[in-house]
Each structure stands twice: as C-alpha cells, then as structure tokens.
C-alpha cells in the first residue's frame, strides 16, 4: 500500500514537472520574441524600393563663380612697362577664371522649390540644377541662411516634379537606419546607408545654430545639401558636413535636422530670416560654477550678460540667473537655448523659468527681433563705403581651429554677390594681411585704413590664399552703383 502511494506520488510529480517544462518552452518560443520585436526593429532586407521612390526627387547642383584675376604691378596703375607686358605677354597675364562647385539638393514641392546647403550656392554667379532625367534648369536663390547653412533655390518650368516628404527629425532615434542620396565627386545618384550615430551634435563649426544628426552613412564632397532619410522614405536631415582629416568619408557625417529647415522655409521664401531675440548672453555651467552658484546640477544656461533695454532686462532677468526652461522645454545645456529662442516668432510672450539664488522663478519675456550676428560681421565705416564682405579677427586659437598657418590678420568669412569685394576677387577663406602696405590685425585697424577712401578710389590689399600671398586692388563703389 505504501509503495503504491509512493509510486502514484512520483508519477504525479513527473506530470507536473512535464507541464511546467512545457509551459516554459512555450514562453521562450512565443512570448519572449514578441517582446524583443517591440524593442528592436528588424534590419531591412533592401533599400531598393525606397531608393527608386526617392531618387527622382534628388537633384544635382553645379555652380560657377567668376574669379577676377589681375596683373598687379608694384608701380601701380601708372606702370611705364604696362603696355610692353600687355603687348608681348598679354596671353600669359592673369585672366578671369571660373570656379566651379558641386552639390546636391532635393525637391520639396511641385512649384520647383529645392532645399540645399547655403555653402553650396552662396557665392555662385550661376546655378544649374540637373534632374534625374538629365534635364537641366537654371536656378535662382530665393533665400539663404548662413547661420544654419540652409538655402532655398527654385527652378522654373519643370514638369511633373515629385517632392520628398519632410519627416519629423525629433522622432529619429540613435540606432535607426538611414539612407543618404547625393552626388559625391559628381557621381550622380549615389546611395549610401548607415544608422543615426548620435543626435544634438554641436561645435562642428559650420553655423551659429548647430544641432546636427550624426550618421555613419558615407558622406563625401558633393553630398552637401542632399537628403538623409529614414526607412519610410521621409527626409529627417540635410547632409551638410563630414569630420575628416583626409577630405574623404571616415564614417562621421553631420546632417541638419529637417525640423530646423521646416521652421525656416516660410521665411526663406520671403528672402528674409527673422528670429526671436531674448537679449542675453549665456554660458555653459561647469562643475566650478555649479558649486559657486550652489546649484543642484549642471543643467541650464547661465546668464552672463543682459543687454540694456533688451527683452530680458525689461522682463526682469538678471546676470547670474540660470535658465532651466523656455516655453515649457527643458534647457539641459546652454547650446540648446539659442536655437529654441531663434525659432520662436518675434513678439511671442515666452515663458522663461530661471533659478535665482536657489529659488525657481517664472518670467514672461516678449521676444524682440534678433539683430544680425556681430560675431563675424564687419560694420562698414560709412554709408558711402560698401565693401560687401564680412571679416573676423584671426587669433592663434581660431587659426588652430580652422587649420590655418597664419596667426594674425582678418579672415574673410563671407563675400556678397555683386559687391566691391566680389569684383576684386576676394574669396571666403582669404586672410587680409595688409591694407596699403600697412599691417592689419583687427577690424579697427582695417576701418582706420579705409575710412578716408572716396568712391572710385582703389585700396591695395595683401592677401594670404592657401600657401600663397598675393596683392589685389579693391575699388570703392558709389552708393548707387
């Protein structure tokens, strides 16, 4: 009897164990894969469908700028040997040279509007757009924004244009698959794929407002202005720059978030960028500053200067306040604030939350209009002197950052179309060393040298361009020229 009971008990335990084991197997086979599939999207088998759909919307941009070359004599315009040189060596003297550039863009509507990078088109005298069917159109610049490196151009009379859908770059996650289409080195409709490597990258050194998507999808010269797309074929970024010591791709590329472009498109269509303005200078909170201001963490943007009569001063903000929220959006570091403010319409009563001496305070600040950036702008000495270029004082630190051999001088950061600087052949990246054979190291020096020149007169400049130094003359234009 006893043995029978033991046998029954053992059989019963065996059945229960078998059932438990079977349930465990079923859980592993069916329940766990479902949970895993939710957290990780499978890699696509192919991007061919996306590429076929998107490629007709990606365009090839070629630009041309005429660089004026001049024969400069140490004796000036009255060189007694000028006639001799022109007669016998005329065909060897410097001539106007076309400078060509390549880039990419993508169609955003059926009217012919195309998004690209500002640096692709900003200095061009001629812009041509080639569609996938090889048809070529002349394009004109509608609006451009050097501070974000975004430009809007337009072609006319093109039929059956197919725009790309602009996605939501905020929804892109690190690790998501992305596809880049462009024209690297003139190789049209080149497709590369990779992932989102990081978000919110700044300090790349391209524009004032930097908030890049980093990707390892191969990007090379000529890709600039092309789309970075998610697996749904939506544009999430505009390919803009690469990190490279060789000039080629090393798997570190940067794209401007498309949400930044969507905010700008209405203004680009008007040709004028208007940005919100808070009227403060802010800085990053370091561990030492955190300790000095008795803050709980290093989040926020520390106000180091409140501009007189600006929106913030009128609202009551003070030096030493730490901005931790703007319009309900948390400010984790000082680099996020300028873009959020700039993207907010002028006149908005913005809610600004600060920490002041350990207390949380809320202010309503009516945003003004952001004045032109004075970080790189040269203020013209008088209304009669319109040079059409922006200058930046060169320091050893900036020279190291830009990879320049010169440590002093004035760096040309922008040259306007149809201006004295453009006529003289000045280029972005030139370094002005002398004005009329006098050394210049600051904007104040430059202004002092040219302020007495009258319209029609010429200024002698010594430039460093690449490894070579060269003299050029810059003619001062009349106001109505």
DSSP of 381-421, one letter per residue? Answer: SSTT----EEEEE--HHHHHHHT-S--SSEEEEEE-TTSHH
Report the alpha-carbon distance of residue 135 to residue 216 in Å, rounded: 32
Catalytic residue status for 224: yes
All residues at 6 or more sequence positions from 468 whose CB lies less than 8 Å from its CB, including other chains: none
In degrees rounded to 5, what are phi and psi of residue 452?
Answer: -95, 0
Q: Which among 149, 216, 321, 430 is annotated as catalytic?
A: 149
Burial of 298 (0-12, 13-18, 19+ CB in 10 A): middle
Cβ–Cβ under 8 Å, residues 132 and 200? no
Report the alpha-carbon distance of residue 84 to residue 82 in Å, rounded: 5
The label of the residue with tokens 């810059």 reads 474
Q: Closest by alpha carbon to 249, among 313, 184, 318, 303? A: 184
Cα 339 versus chain centre, distance: 12
Catalytic residue status for 374: no
3-state secondary structure of 257: strand
Q: Which among 62, 224, 240, 249 is annotated as catalytic?
A: 224
Q: Closest by alpha carbon to 233, among 180, 159, 183, 161? A: 180
In degrees rounded to 5, what are phi and psi of residue 92?
Answer: -105, -10
DSSP of 305-317, one letter per residue? Answer: EE-TTSHHHHHT-
The label of the residue with tokens 């040269």 reads 378
Cβ–Cβ under 8 Å, residues 102 and 183? yes
The label of the residue with tokens 């320049």 reads 404
Catalytic residue status for 232: no
All residues at 6 or more sequence positions from 31 whose CB lies less than 8 Å from its CB, including other chains: none
Report the alpha-carbon distance of residue 414 to residue 207 in Å, rounded: 12
Can you read off the two tokens belonging to residue 60?
């090839």
Cβ–Cβ under 8 Å, residues 169 and 213? yes
In degrees rounded to 5, what are phi and psi of residue 360?
Answer: -90, 125
Q: Which among 57, 119, 249, 263 is annotated as catalytic?
A: 119
Q: Closest by alpha carbon to 463, among 450, 474, 453? A: 474
Question: Catalytic site residues?
Answer: 119, 149, 224
């Amino acid at each position: 009897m006893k043995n029978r009971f033991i046998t029954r008990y053992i059989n019963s335990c065996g059945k229960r164990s078998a059932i438990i084991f079977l349930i465990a197997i079923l859980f592993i086979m069916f329940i766990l894969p479902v949970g895993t599939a939710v957290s990780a999207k499978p890699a696509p088998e192919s991007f061919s469908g996306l590429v076929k759909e998107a490629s007709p919307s990606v365009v090839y941009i070629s630009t041309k700028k005429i660089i004026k070359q001049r024969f400069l004599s140490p004796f000036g315009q009255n060189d007694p040997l000028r006639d001799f040189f022109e007669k016998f060596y005329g065909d060897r003297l410097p001539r106007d040279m076309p400078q060509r550039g390549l880039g990419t863009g993508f169609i955003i509507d059926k009217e012919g509007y195309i998004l690209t990078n500002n640096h692709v088109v900003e200095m061009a005298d001629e812009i041509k757009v080639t569609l996938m069917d090889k048809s070529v159109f002349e394009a004109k610049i509608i609006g451009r924004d050097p501070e974000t490196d975004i430009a809007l151009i337009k072609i006319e009379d093109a039929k059956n244009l197919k725009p790309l859908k602009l996605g939501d770059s905020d929804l892109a996650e690190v690790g998501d698959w992305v596809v880049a289409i462009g024209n690297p080195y003139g190789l049209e409709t080149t497709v590369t794929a990779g992932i989102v490597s990081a978000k919110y990258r700044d300090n790349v050194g391209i524009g004032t407002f930097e908030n890049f998507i980093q990707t390892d999808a191969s990007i090379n010269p000529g890709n600039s202005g092309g789309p970075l797309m998610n697996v749904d074929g939506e544009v999430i970024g505009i390919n803009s720059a690469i990190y490279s010591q060789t000039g080629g791709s090393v798997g570190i590329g940067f794209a401007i978030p498309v949400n930044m472009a969507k905010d700008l498109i209405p203004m680009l269509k008007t040709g004028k960028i208007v940005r919100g303005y808070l009227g403060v200078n802010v800085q990053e909170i370091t561990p030492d500053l955190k300790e000095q201001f008795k803050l709980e963490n290093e989040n926020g943007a520390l106000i180091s200067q409140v501009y007189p009569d600006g929106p913030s001063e009128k609202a009551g903000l003070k030096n030493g306040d730490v901005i931790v929220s703007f319009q309900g959006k948390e400010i984790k570091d000082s680099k996020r604030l300028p873009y959020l403010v700039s993207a907010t319409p002028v006149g908005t009563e913005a809610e600004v939350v600060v920490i002041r001496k350990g207390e949380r305070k809320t202010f309503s600040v009516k945003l003004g209009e952001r004045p032109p950036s004075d970080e790189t702008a040269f203020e013209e000495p008088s209304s009669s002197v319109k040079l059409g270029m922006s200058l930046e004082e060169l320091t050893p630190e900036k020279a190291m950052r830009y990879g320049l051999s010169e440590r002093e001088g004035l760096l040309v950061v922008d040259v306007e179309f149809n201006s004295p600087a453009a006529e003289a052949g000045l280029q972005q990246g030139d370094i002005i060393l002398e004005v009329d054979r006098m050394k210049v190291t600051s904007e104040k020096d430059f202004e002092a040298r040219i302020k007495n020149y009258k319209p029609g007169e010429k200024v002698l400049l010594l430039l460093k361009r690449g490894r070579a130094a060269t003299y050029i003359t810059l003619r001062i234009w009349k106001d109505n020229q």
